[in-house]
Amino acid sequence: MSIFQRSPTVNNLPITTVKPPLLFYTFAAIMATISERDRKVMWHPYTPMKLWPEAIGIVRGEGAYLIDESGNRYIDAISSWWVTIHGHSHPYIAQKVYEQMNTLEHCMFAGFTHEPAVTLAEKLLQILPGDMSKIFYSDNGSTAVEVALKMALQYWGNKGVNKRRIIAIENAYHGDTFGAMAVSGRSVFTNAFADLLFDVAFIPFPESGNEAQSLAALEGMLQQGDVAAFIAEPLIQGSAGMCMYTPDTLNRYFELCRQYDALIIVDEVMTGFGRTGPLFACDAITEKPDMICLSKGLTGGTMAMGVTATTQNIFDAFYDDDRNKMLYHGHSFTANATTCATALASMELLLKDECTESRKSIVEAHTIFAHSISGHPAIQDIRQTGTIIAIELKAEKTEYHSNIRDTIYRFFLDRNIILRPLGNIIYILPPYCITNDELTYIYNAIQEFLEEYSS
């Protein structure tokens, strides 16, 4: 029998459907696990495919847990790459997605608009730090940064001012698209493309005791008068190894940028939506940015979305009769209606007292745990900002791909905890729905690891 079958017509157009040999696929699927089928067809992100051929087949998400096809329940202690904030498969978010899907799933966003996009923009502008007045949607953290960089460079171009230089902080991570890579630290992440990345000036990371040097480097660069923008991950550089610095330093960076008339882009892709305690890391300082990049927790970790929020001043530089001055940027899925509805549902949950209390309780639990292990001979440093705690182990090799990383990863996976260390740095960045008991279970496993590691 042919696998092609004539089906009825719609609007007089014949539709040809491909009928797969269903029995064959069903049988193959029953015989093989998701994990086995994956190996034949999949190329995973940030994965050395030859060395790490196996991916765990996840079939369900439930609060702080991911459940695999053998029924193992793993605590998602890093919120699935820092995105999940209310837990997996949250019923309220699922309900709102369903309702939106049945109303308007998507429409293009040039020349058209819709309720969820506008409401989400209005609500974001109410809670964002500073004087943000416009929201530009994109698809992820990298594109949110990409858009901010393009806006910053074109802002000066549109004003007829020759400022083209961008300043960033050493070891920063702002994403994987080319602009975002250019403003990220040069590392194994960017080596293959180093010659193609545009020049960016990097200032030293302001680690404790080194703040003055970092500030002086920024001022020295700003004095040259050609700086279009400064970009920073506020208070904590995530991928660099959860490296933390003070609100005071962040504030001084921003003051200097104001003094020398350079734009300020703040990348709150990881820190946004409560990770550092307050809703945004910039809530901890008095100076305010010109642009804020958001993603990850924006939809509660349910769907991909990026936002670049800007002040009226930035927007006005593009508001012109001359079409050359408009921003030439957009994505097919800009402001996807279902994604906007998801972000609105997540924001509703985030702003409830219950969520604030949960975050407080995580912060307190982390602090007590940090005290309990401080001074341990296996630990180089232990640091915390809000709901994020990082434990840096003493190690000879500290790079991202060091063997210690794989040992740590497997140790916790064997105890049903997902912790994906950054080299020799173990960190917990949990969904806010995590319970004290679940946190205690993770802390105990870390203590067990420390004992084994130091013996």
**Is residue 185 a contact point for ligand PLP (CB under 6 A)?**
no
- Indicate the residue type of 284: A
| Binding residue (CB under 6 A) for ligand PLP from 86, 90, 114, 174 | 174
Q: Is 230 near ligand PLP (CB under 6 A)?
A: no
Q: With contact defined as beta carbons under 8 Å apart, do 331 and 339 qualify?
A: no
E strand or H helix at 413: helix 403-414
User: Of residues 269, 350, 429, 433, which one binds ligand PLP by CB under 6 A?
Assistant: 269
Q: What pairs with residue 425 in β-bridges? A: 392, 422
Q: Is 270 in the site for ligand PLP (CB under 6 A)?
A: yes
Taking CB under 6 A as the binding criterion, the range among 32-40, 264-272, 353-361, 384-392 that sits at the site for ligand PLP is 264-272
Out of 129, 130, 141, 421, the only residue in the binding site for ligand PLP (CB under 6 A) is 141
Structure tokens at 173: 């991570």
Query: Least distance in Å: CB of 184 to ligand PLP?
Result: 9
Strands (DSSP E) along 399-444, which ranges? 417-418, 425-428
Span near ligand PLP by CB under 6 A; candidates 88-96, 200-208, 262-270, 445-453: 262-270
Q: Residue 39 is encoded by which pair of tokens?
A: 């190996």
Q: How far apart are CA 42 and CA 36, in angstroms?
A: 10
The whole-angstrom separation of Cα 189 and Cα 68 is: 29
DSSP letter at 88? B
Nearest-CB residue for ligand PLP:
141
Q: What angle do CA 394, 400, 405 make, to 5 degrees?
A: 60
Is position 146 an interface residue for ligand PLP (rule: CB under 6 A)?
no
Cβ proximity to ligand PLP: between 14 and 45 the closer is 45
Binding segment for ligand PLP (CB under 6 A), chosen from 171-179, 317-325, 401-409, 442-450, is: 171-179
Query: Is residue 369 part of the contact set for ligand PLP (CB under 6 A)?
Result: no
Helices (H), 103-195: 115-127, 141-158, 178-182
Asked if 85 touches ligand PLP (CB under 6 A), the answer is: no
Residue 142 makes contact with ligand PLP by CB under 6 A: yes
Q: Does 310 engage in binding with ligand PLP (CB under 6 A)?
A: no
The answer for 280, left when phi > 0, alpha when psi is -120 to 50, beta otherwise, is beta
Residue 184 sits in the site that holds ligand PLP (CB under 6 A): no
Binding site for ligand PLP (CB under 6 A): 140-142, 145, 173-175, 233, 238-239, 267, 269-270, 295
